[in-house]
Amino acid sequence: MRLELINRVVDGEILGKSILTSEGKVLLRAGIKLTNQYINKLKEIGVIYIYVEDDRLNDICVEDTRMLEMKKHAIKNMANIVKSINNCDSKLFKKNIRQVEELINYIIDDGNVSTSVYDIKTFDNYTYLHCIDTSIMATFMGLSFKFKEADIKDLGMGAILHDIGKTKVGNVIVNKPGPLTPEEFEEMKRHPSYGVDMLKEYYSISQNILDIVQQHHERVDGKGYPNKISGNKINKLANIVSICDVYDAVNNDRSYRKKFKPNEAYELILSGSGSAFESDNVLKFKETFAVYPLGSCLKLSNDIEGYVIKQNSNYPDRPVLRVLYDSETKKPIPFYEVDLLKNPDITVEAII
């Protein structure tokens, strides 16, 4: 299948990967025939890219159905997790947090990073979905580091709960469609501390998880918040969640800005090495996640357009492409492949 800009999708194409709402419900299921009505509705709600089926790219599989089901259950349980914390209901908290633990366990045992990170989503409830996706990314990074299982679980759980304190800030500030006032920003900067206060008072939660919640906005140069700590005073797991938090945040539309392009979001993380983020964490991020999603269409410096079919390990910006169309006429041709790792003179001009 291929990842296509919604403006390039035509009537009659088949949806290749399900589109989720932020409550984890399926908005459109994979396999449905896309009509102009569906396409226009997706444009209206802000969907920019979708996966569509293509026989010439049928070796690209991006739908992990088990992951999709577990993610849906985890998103649905987020509201109950927040409710249980606010109501000091330990029994309800443990019941619903187990659903999230199952997702983390699945990633540890069977998860495939290439089919799990890039999703097509709508954004009615950004915070819950963002916490789930941040957790998925953080868990994969923990696996890349070969951390002990207990630390990987702390990493995933800390990411799930990292923004829990925003429920004390209030939706008027959290969802404000524009810049925050200085006073509003000061209140927003308290959400890590609010989160720790909510968790440590009622539940037996590991120090790693509390550190993640408290420190996920701290920077290694000391310019973060809420406590402006720096360097190795920041829990390594918290800095990993910080990277995943920022990357997922800028990859999503918000009320006050449009999402970044994949390469722009990636470059933002790399540019923060040694200042916002620990250098070795950024290096591991680079080793774990690719710049361009499988199935995405890239325009190259030689004017050829091709679809990403494979990632080159440790070279996240040099994938293998399959060229399907003549660059001038845009007519189908017998496809061929271009390995950017073997063609260093060819660069990526844009993702289209």
Domain extent listing, the chain: 2-57, 65-288, 297-351
23 pLDDT band (50/70/90 cuts)? low
- Does 232 or 111 have the greater pLDDT score? 232
* Percent of the chain predicted with pLDDT > 90: 53
Contact between residue 247 and residue 269 where contact means Cβ atoms under 8 Å apart: yes
CA 243 to chain CA centroid, nearest Å: 11
Looking at residue 80, what is its pLDDT?
Answer: 87
**CB environment 275-284: b (16+ within 10 A), e (fewer):** ebbbeebbeb
pTM equals 0.85
The Cβ of residue 260 has, within 10 Å, a number of other Cβ atoms equal to 17
Q: What is the mean pLDDT of residues 199-227?
A: 92
pLDDT at 235 over 90: yes
The better pLDDT of the pair 23, 167 is held by 167
Amino acid at 97: I
Is the distance from CB of 209 to CB of 199 less than 8 angstroms? Answer: yes
The fold adopted by the segment(s) 65-288 is: Hypothetical protein af1432 (1.10.3210)
pLDDT score recorded for residue 136? 93
**In terms of DSSP H, where are the helices of the chain?**
36-44, 65-86, 90-110, 126-145, 149-161, 166-169, 171-174, 182-188, 191-200, 207-215, 236-250, 262-271, 279-288
pLDDT tens-digit series, residues 105-152: 999 998 777 666 666 655 445 678 889 989 999 999 999 999 999 999
Q: Worst-scoring range by mean pLDDT, 89-103, 211-225, 268-282?
A: 89-103
Average pLDDT over residues 194-216: 90
First-residue to last-residue Cα distance in the chain = 15
Q: Which fold has domain 2-57?
A: Molybdopterin biosynthesis moea protein, domain 2 (3.90.105)
b/e string for 90-124 if b means 16 or more Cβ within 10 A? eeebeebbebbeebbbbbbeebebbbbbbbbbbbe
Q: Could you count the other beta carbons within 10 Å of the beta carbon of residue 330?
A: 10
* Position 227, amino acid: N
**Interatomic CA distance for residues 30 and 11, integer angstroms:** 15
pLDDT at 254: 61
Which tokens in the block code for residue 101? 């633990």
- Residue 258: both structure tokens together: 């449009």
Token pair in block for residue 204: 């037996």
Report the pLDDT value the prediction gives residue 238, as an integer from 0 to 100: 98
